[in-house]
Structure 1
């Protein structure tokens, strides 16, 4: 971690979550494995956009902000990578996608607990957050990615947001993500 901390991902607890490390990692972690044309667009900004479009429910907004926080610990396992793992499932005899999802949920449970959210309660928002994430991704495809020579690769996309995305860069993304954490009494700056 940026702070020098080491965590045991297998036995992760809420006490292991150091918010400044999450902020640092997400603000430096490129969305789409960095395949964003001529800009640097990071997971922290993606999460802030989701937060800002999650409506008025504070729990929904916080969950939208944290929906990819596990990536601060395990990286962004991209959709094409998950698709590759799914295709290889039969060859290795395991449920690779299920394993990735299980790992993310375990890490999410520790992160949510550190944020004061019960993981079971968070499950009630899963569909809402998934739909919002799909809209943000459709917006990113429109605004941040170089147009694809094979647009069918994306399949049927959700309706994009009406606002346009202008990439912030790492420093502003860290500031903005930490500021949003602060709205919920979470110190993302380590002050």
Structure 2
């Protein structure tokens, strides 16, 4: 007989790489590791998979962390961490799904709280870096198009060496964990050992 005082995942859940279950409606009660975040981001493709090469959210997050002032680097690395559990939904589709946006915000809040990253929303530095990366990624990884949103918005694309040569998901996962270690001083050894 289970102890009713111990909260367990009871809502819509997903099984994580660590073997834990993640409750989409109660992320605060869910157990998850840094490795679960790294794996989810590394195996999630940006742009709904419509880019020329597989390009992971993990790589996007690493690059974003490299173009902000150091004090914002960890927040930039983690800015899309919720997507490890709910996928990378494109902005046009997300605008049609208000419930999704509410779930995403709650997962982001839990992740930021659990890792001591402060309150949402993200800083202007992280938001700007995210847009600069989007502009650079579209130019390097998407079919040529006449969409000049970045110019109209005054967004200067980030300069990232090798952006058109994405890494494999396994390499992106390892690089994400190594970046996390460098920024936090925390070595997620159990997460690296399973790679």
Gap runs ≥5 in structure 1: 86-95
Deviation at 1:68, TM superposition (A): 0.3
Q: CA RMSD in A?
A: 2.2
Structure with greater contact order relative to length (CA < 8 Å, sep ≥ 6):
1
Q: 1:22 aligns with which of 37, 49, 60?
A: 37
TM-score by length of 1: 0.80
Aligned residues: 172
CA contact (8 A) 1:17 1:111 kept: no
8 Å CA contact 1:178–1:189 kept in 2: the answer is: no
Counterpart CA distance in 1 for 2:101 and 2:143 is: 28
Give the Cα separation in 1 of the matches to 2:189 and 2:142. Answer: 29
Please state whether the residue corresponding to 2:124 is helix, strand or coil.
Answer: helix
Which blocks of at least 5 consecutive residues in structure 2 are unaligned? Answer: 1-15
Structure 1 residue ranges (4+ consecutive) displaced by more than 3 angstroms after TM superposition = 152-157
Give the alignment's TM-score, normalised by structure 2: 0.79
Tell me which residue corresponds to 2:12.
Answer: none
Residue aligned with 1:36, SS: coil
Q: Which has the higher helix share?
A: 1
Q: Partners of 2:152 and 2:17 in 1: how far apart?
A: 38
Distance 1:186 1:116 in 2: 16
Trace 1:115-130 onto structure 2 (pairs within 5 A).
Answer: 115-118=115-118, 120=119, 122-123=120-121, 125-130=122-127
Match among 156, 178, 190 for residue 152 of structure 2: 156
Q: More displaced, 136-145 or 74-83?
A: 74-83
More deviation in 60-69 or 105-114? Answer: 105-114
The alpha carbon displacement at 1:186 in A equals: 5.6
Q: Residue 50 of structure 1 is aligned with which of 60, 64, 87?
A: 64
1:146 and 1:5 map into 2 onto residues whose CA distance is: 39
